[in-house]
Structure 1
Amino acid sequence: MAHIELVTNGKTKHVIKFKHKADKPDPRDYRIPARPTDLPALPKRIDLRAECPPVYEQGSISSCTANATAALLDVVRKRDNLPFLHPSRLFIYYNCRVLNGDPEADHGSTFRDALSTLYDTGVCAEADWDYDPTLLFQKPTDECYTKAIENKFQYYALIDQNETALKHCLNEGYPFIFSIILFSSFEEDHMLFETGILSVPNPDQPKPPVLGRHAVCCVGYDDDKQLFLVRNSFGAEWRGDGHFCIPYSFMLDPECNEGFWTLRTSGEWKTVQIS
C-alpha cells in the first residue's frame, strides 16, 4: 500500500498517495562544491517558516514533488527580491509527466523532472492554472506557457547529504527539497502526532515495510533538539501548522532519504566545509 487516509474531525478528508519517484544518478547534475571556504559560523537554530507561503494541500493527487518544488521556488524568489508568484503546482506536475512520457497518468514524478521543467519551460502562476483536480490531465493553455517563459530558473543543484552542507543552505536563507521514505509505521506514528517528531526505526531491528516515497521541503533546524524542520503538503491543519521534525540521524541516513536539491536565481554557489 502506498497511501494513507488523511482524517480530519473523525472523517476521511483525502487519500494521500506516496508516489515520489527517486532520481537516477546523472553525471550532468551540478553539485554544490564541498570544500573548505570562508563561511560564517552556523547559528544553533534556523526557522524559515515566516518566509514561506501558506502550507499547500496536495489532496488526493500524487503531486508531492510539485508541491515541495513550488514551496522552494516561492521562498527563493522572495529571498532574491523577485515578485511573489505562487507557482502553479499542476503546471509543474503536468510538465513533469510530459518529460516522463505519460502526462495522462498520476504516478508521481522526480525532482529532476520538476527542476528541468522550471529550467526548460518555466512556470505560470496558480492564478493562471489552478490547483483543480479536474485539470489534472488537461494540458495548460498556450497563455500559461507564454507566461511561464517569464519564470524560468536556470540554476539548481544537488547538496551532499551532509549535516554541515544542509545547514549552510538553510543559513543562507534557502530551503531544500528532498524525498523521505515513509514506513508503514507512519500511519500510526503516535510520537509524530503528539510531538511533531517523526519516529525513527530502531537500528537494531529490521525496518518496517515501506509505505512509499514522499517529497517534502526542509525549512530549518535546531541543534539543541537535533532536529530538522520540514514542511509537508497535507495542508496547514495537519499537525497544527503543516510541519513536522526529522531527527538529524534519520535525515542523514541514505537508506531513508535522498535527492537533496535547491534553487538559485544566479549561478553563484557558496562552497561548504565538510565536517
Structure 2
Amino acid sequence: MFGDKKPQIEDYGFGALRSATPAVAPRMEFGSGGREPKVDLRKYCSPVQDQLTIGSCNACAIVGALEFQMLKGGRPLTPLSPLYVYYNGRKLAGMEKEDSGLLCHHATAAIMAYGACEEKRWPYRIEKFDREPSKECYDNSRTFETTQYARLSTPEEAKVALSQGMPIVFGFDIPRSYYTAAAKTGRMPREGTYDLEPMSGHAMLIVGFDDHEGVWLARNSWGESFGEKGYCWIPYGLVNRYVWNDELWAIGSLEKVQTARLFGPTLQEAMRDVQQRGTQQAQDALKKLRGEIRDDLQKRTDDAKTSMRDRLREQERQLEGRRNQTK
C-alpha cells in the first residue's frame, strides 16, 4: 500500500503511550435511550492503513476516525495522512525527531492544532517519519471545526457511543502474542492465554461489538492482511482487564448527539494544557513505560529464580525418596 516492504507480524510497530496522569480533556456521558446489543460500523470505514514498523498507531486510529466521518456523512473519501498527524502529535510533545509513539490526546490535539493534510501531499514513507511536512501540507490541511474528542468513563458508555454511530479510539497493554493469534484467526484469545509475556502498548479504533459473543470489533493499523481484512474481535474480558483507564475516546461531532452531555474541561482548556505541558506529559509517559518494563523484567527474573529453586527442591525430594526406597 505504501511502497515499503511489508514486515512480518513480529516486526510491527505499536507506539501507544499511556498517560502517567489523566489528561485534561472533556468528558462525555449519556442519558437514557438505551443501546443496541450488536453494532458493526465497518461499512463506513475507509481502507485499513498499514503503519509498518513505526509507532504511529494512534495517528492511524485518529485518521481512521476522521475518514469514517467523511463516509458516514455521505461525503466522498479523501484519504488523509497518518504520517502528518504522527509528526505533529510528536511536535506538540517536543519529540518530533524521535519515533517515540504518541499519547492518544496528543494525536487528537494535533488535529485541532494543525488539521490533517491529504495522504497524496504527505505519503506514508516511514523513512520520513522525522521530517517536517512541507509548507504546502500545512497550507492545504483540512480543518475539522465540528470534530471534537471526549473521554468516556466505561466500556458501557463506549457501547452507547457506538450504537449512535461514533467510533472509539482506545489504548491498552497486552502481550504481542494476542495480536499474532488475531492476525491468523481474526479473533484474540481469552484473557489469561498469554499473560506471562511482556506487554505492548497499542491503540486501535473500535467500530463495533457483539453482546452475544462478548467481543469488541477493532480496526487495527497493520494492513488488510491482518485478521479479518484488517479487523479483529477482542473478548470483553481482555479489554476489561487491560484497557487503560481514561483511554476510551469518542471522536466526532459530539455536540450533535442528543442523548449525550459534555462536561468537565472544555476543548480549548484541553488544547491549552497540551500546548503548555505536552513535552512533560510525553516525558512522564516514557518514564512510566521504562519503569513498567524494568519492573516487569525484575518480576520475570524473580519468578525464574523462584521456579529454579522449586525445581531443585523437587529434585532433592525425589532423590531423597529414592534413597529411602533403597534402604
Query: Shorter-chain TM-score: what band?
Result: 0.7 to 0.9
For residue 187 of structure 1, report the CA deviation from its aligned partner. 6.4
Which AA in structure 2 matches 1:213?
A: G
For residue 266 of structure 1, report the CA deviation from its aligned partner. 5.3
- Aligned position for 1:16: 12
Q: 1:28 to 1:188 in 2, by over 3 A?
A: closer
Q: Which has the higher helix share?
A: 2
- Aligned position for 2:264: none
Q: Percent identity?
A: 25
The one-character-per-residue Cα deviations of 1:41-94 (angstroms, maximum 9, x if unpaired) are: 422221111110111111111111111111111112333345533211000000
Which AA in structure 1 matches 2:26?
A: Y
For residue 217 of structure 1, report the CA deviation from its aligned partner. 0.6
- Aligned position for 1:49: 42
- Aligned position for 2:260: 271
1:182 aligns with 2:174: yes
Question: Which of 201, 218, 226 is 2:191 aligned to?
Answer: 201
Q: Are the equivalent residues in 2 in contact too, given 1:118–1:153 (CA < 8 A)?
A: no
Secondary structure (helix, strand or coil) at the match of 1:17 reads: coil
Mean alpha-carbon deviation: is it higher for 138-147 or for 13-22? 13-22
For residue 26 of structure 1, report the CA deviation from its aligned partner. 4.3
Q: 1:174 to 1:120 in 2, by over 3 A?
A: same
Q: 1:100 to 1:141 in 2, by over 3 A?
A: same
Q: Are the equivalent residues in 2 in contact too, given 1:76–1:263 (CA < 8 A)?
A: no
* Alignment RMSD: 2.6
Which AA in structure 1 matches 2:85?
A: I
- Distance in 2, matches of 1:140 and 1:193, equals 32
Q: Are the equivalent residues in 2 in contact too, given 1:14–1:60 (CA < 8 A)?
A: no
Which AA in structure 1 matches 2:84?
A: F
Q: Are the equivalent residues in 2 in contact too, given 1:23–1:112 (CA < 8 A)?
A: no
Secondary structure (helix, strand or coil) at the match of 1:237 reads: coil
Secondary structure (helix, strand or coil) at the match of 1:61 reads: coil
Gaps of 5+ in 2: 262-327
- Aligned position for 2:205: 217
Secondary structure (helix, strand or coil) at the match of 2:110 reads: helix
The one-character-per-residue Cα deviations of 1:113-139 (angstroms, maximum 9, x if unpaired) are: 110011111111111111112321111
Q: 1:188 to 1:240 in 2, by over 3 A?
A: closer
Alignment: residue pair count: 255
- Aligned position for 1:91: 84
Q: Are the equivalent residues in 1 in contact too, given 2:23–2:105 (CA < 8 A)?
A: no
Secondary structure (helix, strand or coil) at the match of 2:141 reads: helix
1:79 aligns with 2:72: yes
Mean alpha-carbon deviation: is it higher for 167-176 or for 194-203? 194-203
For residue 182 of structure 1, report the CA deviation from its aligned partner. 1.9
TM-score w.r.t. the length of structure 1 is: 0.83
- Aligned position for 1:122: 115
For residue 180 of structure 1, report the CA deviation from its aligned partner. 2.1
Secondary structure (helix, strand or coil) at the match of 1:218 reads: strand
Q: Which has the larger radius of gyration?
A: 2
| Equivalent residue runs for 1:253-268 within 5 Å | 253=241, 255-258=242-245, 259-265=247-253, 267-268=255-256
- Distance in 1, matches of 2:176 and 2:229, equals 23
Q: Are the equivalent residues in 1 in contact too, given 2:169–2:251 (CA < 8 A)?
A: no
Secondary structure (helix, strand or coil) at the match of 2:15 reads: coil
